[in-house]
Chains A and B, each alone.
Chain A
Amino acid sequence: MADPEIKSYEPHHESQSAAVTESRPVRAVLMAVAFAFLGVFLLLPLIVVFNEALAKGVGAYTEALSSPDTRSAIRLTLLVAAISVPLNIVFGISAAWAIAKFEFKGKAFLTTLIDLPFSVSPVISGLVYVLLFGAQGLLGGWLKAHGIVILFAVPGIVLATVFVTFPFVARELIPLMQEQGNGDEEAALSLGANGWQTFWYVTLPNVKWGLLYGVLLCNARAMGEFGAVSVVSGHIRGLTNTMPLHVEILYNEYNAVGAFAVASLLAGLALVTLVLKTLLEMRYGAEIAATRGH
């Protein structure tokens, strides 16, 4: 990632010869096309969400948000994120420790496997759990005999969310910890710290901003996941409906204000995520691995 400090020393393009940049009119046209494209594809959808949510006034908006079904959807989304994000944090730290601090056979393969959920359709991520835990599934009969409910209930939703958000923390921490090397940890150990102390007082402070960055992206996806959760949730109103699923139900019932009111909360979450992400990149760019996006 480019350091903003260095960037500001770049010469301004106005002072450069025409040969290494485009002429003024060409530049203006390119910028206009790029802005028009971004405006139509990114800005307008965002504006529409808030416009539709407030189409019938603030009263209708707050009323839509205070319906019991909406409230329970918000509670479920928070609960699912509160379970699945910490699980993936523990995994991410553990995987990054094993992969970044040690040299072992099959490391590259393991790193590839961690990224696997990103190349699987969300619908398939949900489907695999239906095949495993569903009534006709491999473990379906056993689960039923023991009275354990996973599918069409909170555990299934959590599992599907964990699946789709699986790589976020790990793929942020692995390159960062690899880049930082083992020097600090070896020094701490040679001074008598034990393994846990080394991790807690040396490694964790070194990677805290990168970790926060990964958690931010993981959380945004966990709260917003639709496809995978849709397959395993069963869409029981008030019980297994997360916010994105509730948006779909309200929208299909032609309750535009309701759907967009819930959507506006999710859009707000996305905006907060983007702002925090940008702040982290600006202030701690060097302490965040150079992997941006997805």
Chain B
Amino acid sequence: MTTAPAQAGWRFRQPSVIPGFGLTLGFSLAYLTLIILIPLSGLVWRSAALGWTDFWAIVADRRTINALEISFGTAFAAAAVNVVFGTLVAWVLVRYRFPGRRIVDAMVDLPFALPTAVAGIALTTLYAPNGWIGKLLMPLGIKVAYTPLGIVIALVFIGLPFVVRTVQPIMEEIDKEVEEAAATLGASRFQIITRILFPGLAPAIVTGFSLAFARGVGEYGSVIFIAGNLPFKSEIAPLLIVIRLEEYNYPAATAIAAIMLALSFLMLLVINLVQSWSRKRYG
């Protein structure tokens, strides 16, 4: 780090002998503005131009509300499943030694690397009534493909690495000595896990949950194949945006996108608050 003598007064940047500040910051800002900020503010501008009544009429539409409920509900369920199994997978990867651990560890990132459309058709084929897993679930009366349950399955696939990769590094950092100390003081393994390990992991688990949740809410590619896409039943909000666009109903597409963005940011804010609370509580 460059350390410059403290100067009185406000300055935009601290002096440094390294050249290229103006060039790189200027280019980065220009590129960021052109690619991200102008297009995104276009969305905000267009939805503001709708006016409150029109905006509300679109958002309060039964089909829009159902789509939002399905998107947020399934993403929440999938993130909850991932918290349980993702933490377990992270635990097994960090604490246990077994042959092929590296390969299993690398496999966890598959959902990041596999294009969502490929995941979508593969999962649909698996869970269709004549698919490998669908066939087993059929006699039990469980239908996965073309139902909201199918959406949850797709989102579990998409969200898994978010939980594992957030929890894993924190688990690796846990000091074994604390556990040993607790054990010598007579704590049972269960007590150690619930009272010592879990509180330390809680903030990471919450972060993993929120990342998986946020990704699940916006997910499109893997879901549309398995969802069946029945309006009011298994139609997700991003798909409704696409449908409105195909109808050239730009105002509706814009309004749904705006409300999705607003809800996502609100959710991230709440989760951030929960996180800072849990950090203080369990710090």
Q: Which residues of A contact B (CB under 8 A)?
A: 1-2, 12-13, 17-23, 27, 30-31, 33-35, 37-38, 40-46, 48-49, 52, 90-91, 94-95, 97-98, 101-105, 110, 113-114, 116-117, 119-124, 127-132, 134, 136-138, 159, 162-163, 166, 181-182, 185-186, 189-190, 194-195, 198-199, 217, 220, 223-227, 230-231, 243-245, 247-248, 251, 256, 259-260, 263, 266-267, 269-271, 273-275, 277-278, 282, 290, 292-294
Known contacts A104-B25, A124-B241, A274-B110; decide if A91 and B1 are in contact (CB<8 Å): no
Nearest chain-B residue to A281 (Cβ)?
Answer: B106
Contacts A94-B27, A124-B241, A128-B42 given; indicate if A104 touches B13 (C-beta within 8 A): yes
Chain A min CB distance to B110 (Å): 5
CB neighbours (8 Å) of B31 from chain A are 91, 94
- Which chain B residue shows the least CB distance to A163? B35
- B2, A103: Cβ atoms closer than 8 Å: yes
Q: Does B205 contact A (CB under 8 A)?
A: no
Please tell me which one of the listed residues A35, A121, A131 contacts residue B250 in the complex, with CB atoms under 8 A apart. Answer: A131
Tell me, yes or no, whether B147 is within 8 Å of chain A by CB. Answer: no
Which residue of A130, A131, A277 contacts B106 across the interface (Cβ within 8 Å)? A277
Residue B268 lies at the interface, judged by CB distance under 8 Å to chain A: yes
Candidates A91, A98, A198, A260; contact of B21 at CB < 8 Å: A98
Please tell me if the beta carbons of A136 and B250 are within 8 angstroms of each other in the complex. yes
Q: How far is the CB of A25 from chain B (nearest CB, A)?
A: 13
Is B225 in contact with chain A by the CB < 8 A criterion? yes
Could you tell me the distance between the alpha carbons of A117 and B108 in the complex, rounded to whole angstroms? 23
Give Cα A31 to B85, complex, Å.
11
Residue B5 lies at the interface, judged by CB distance under 8 Å to chain A: no
Q: Classify the interface of chain B: helix, strand, loop or mixed.
A: helix
Instruction: Identify the closest chain A residue to B251 (Cβ).
Output: A136
Q: Is B283 an interface position by the 8 A CB rule?
A: no
> Is B253's beta carbon under 8 Å from chain A?
yes
Known contacts A267-B114, A270-B115; A120 and B169 CB within 8 A of each other: no
Closest Cβ of chain B: how far from A201's Cβ, in Å? Answer: 14
Is the beta-carbon distance between B260 and A124 smaller than 8 angstroms?
Answer: yes
Q: Across the interface, do B180 and A182 meet the contact criterion of CB distance under 8 Å?
A: no
For A137, the chain B residues whose CB sits under 8 A away are 42
Task: List 13 A-B residue pairs with CB atoms under 8 Å apart, sorted by A's residue number.
Answer: A21-B189, A30-B92, A41-B156, A49-B118, A91-B28, A129-B39, A224-B115, A227-B116, A231-B245, A244-B221, A263-B117, A278-B105, A292-B169
**Given known contacts A20-B179, A42-B111, A45-B122, is B89 in contact with A13 (CB within 8 Å)?**
no
Decide yes or no whether B266 CB sits under 8 A from chain A. Answer: no
**Contact present for B13 and A121 (CB under 8 Å):** no
Interface residue tally for chain B (C-beta within 8 Å): 103
Given contacts A42-B107, A121-B219, 19 further A-B contacts (CB under 8 A): A19-B180, A42-B110, A90-B27, A98-B25, A103-B1, A113-B36, A116-B36, A121-B217, A124-B257, A128-B39, A131-B39, A198-B19, A226-B116, A226-B117, A245-B117, A259-B121, A263-B117, A266-B114, A267-B118
Most buried by A among B20, B179, B239: B20
B36 interface neighbour in A12, A22, A166, Cβ under 8 Å: A166
A185-B110 contact, Cβ under 8 Å, with A120-B218, A124-B43, A251-B121: no
CB of A132 within 8 A of CB of B89, answer no
Q: Does B79 contact A (CB under 8 A)?
A: no
Give the distance to chain A from B182, nearest Cβ to Cβ, in Å.
8
Cross-chain contact A120 with B261 (CB below 8 angstroms): yes
